[in-house]
């Protein structure tokens, strides 16, 4: 880490010290590289120029500030072009004791045998005392059954529902019923899933959401 970046890390640590336990470092991963989001238009996302071309570089930056919880959006998986299994496995192996890693890689429909084997490998790779949690997002899940499928391989305490909003409305695939979109109380909260969404910043339910760190403009070379 450069001297300038180390100084900035220390400065941000002091500034955010009182809220570090509420911050989650967001990593938008595309083709194995952390990218900077542009108004949700994923086709125009660009690599974060201040960081090396390494799937773990942004996680290391967050950790240098004092953040110990991380959320990874597998943009390839979310856009239906294949999960970044190797890059995500590398990230999972990087997570340390008392750290948490959430992964959203576009779960929808049934869980293939390849994914089942990969999920087992991911769970084996996580360090003792670290936590690996999986996100099921309304923007990609094609039915409520995807959660039941995941429960065959993942403990309910490690599954998280992401309510994805765009223009004030919940994002969902066309075949889902309109929500009161999903039958939330009975189908979701009744299963005792955690609830988070990195896209809830402007929603009235903000008090229920964890604070996510999503701005990378302060990074220095």
Q: What is the pLDDT of residues 127-141, one digit of tens each?
A: 999 999 999 887 888
Q: What's 168's DSSP letter? A: T
Of 168, 92, 80, 85, the residue nearest 123 (C-alpha): 92
Topology of domain 3-213, per CATH?
TIM Barrel (3.20.20)
N- to C-terminal Cα distance for the chain? 9
Which has the higher per-residue pLDDT, 48 or 118? Answer: 118
Could you report the per-residue pLDDT of 180-206, keeping only the tens digit for each?
444 333 333 333 333 333 333 333 333
C-alpha pair distances (Å), 49 with each of 35, 39, 55, 89:
9, 18, 13, 23
How far apart (Å, rounded) are the C-alpha atoms in residues 48 and 127?
Answer: 28
Q: Where are the domains of the chain?
A: 3-213
Q: Per mean pLDDT, which of 41-45, 76-80, 207-211 is the most reliable?
A: 76-80
Q: Beta strand 165-166 with 69-74: parallel, antiparallel or unpaired? A: unpaired
Q: Are 107 and 80 in contact (CB under 8 A)?
A: no
pLDDT digit string, tens, across residues 21-35: 888 999 999 999 888
Name the packing angle between helices 3-16 and 57-65 (round to 10°): 50
The mean predicted confidence, pLDDT, of the chain is 75
């Amino acid at each position: 880490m450069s001297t300038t970046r180390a100084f900035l890390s220390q400065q941000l640590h002091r500034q955010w010290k009182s809220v570090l336990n509420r911050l989650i470092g967001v990593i938008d991963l595309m083709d194995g590289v952390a990218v900077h989001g542009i108004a949700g238009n994923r086709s125009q996302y660009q690599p974060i120029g201040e960081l090396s071309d390494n799937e773990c570089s942004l996680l290391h930056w967050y950790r240098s500030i004092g953040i110990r919880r991380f959320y990874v959006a597998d943009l390839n998986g979310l856009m239906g072009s294949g999960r970044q299994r190797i890059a995500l496995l590398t990230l999972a192996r990087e997570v340390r004791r008392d750290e948490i890693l959430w992964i959203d890689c576009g779960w929808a429909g049934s869980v293939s045998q390849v994914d089942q084997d990969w999920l087992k490998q991911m769970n084996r790779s996580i360090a003792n005392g670290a936590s690996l949690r999986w996100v099921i997002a309304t923007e990609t899940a094609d039915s409520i059954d995807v959660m039941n499928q995941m429960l065959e391989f993942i403990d309910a305490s490690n599954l998280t529902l992401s309510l994805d909003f765009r223009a004030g409305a919940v994002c969902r695939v066309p075949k889902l019923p309109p929500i009161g979109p999903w039958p939330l109380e009975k189908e979701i909260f009744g299963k005792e899933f955690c609830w988070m969404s990195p896209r809830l910043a402007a929603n009235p339910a903000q008090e229920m959401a964890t604070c996510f760190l999503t701005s990378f403009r302060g990074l220095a070379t």
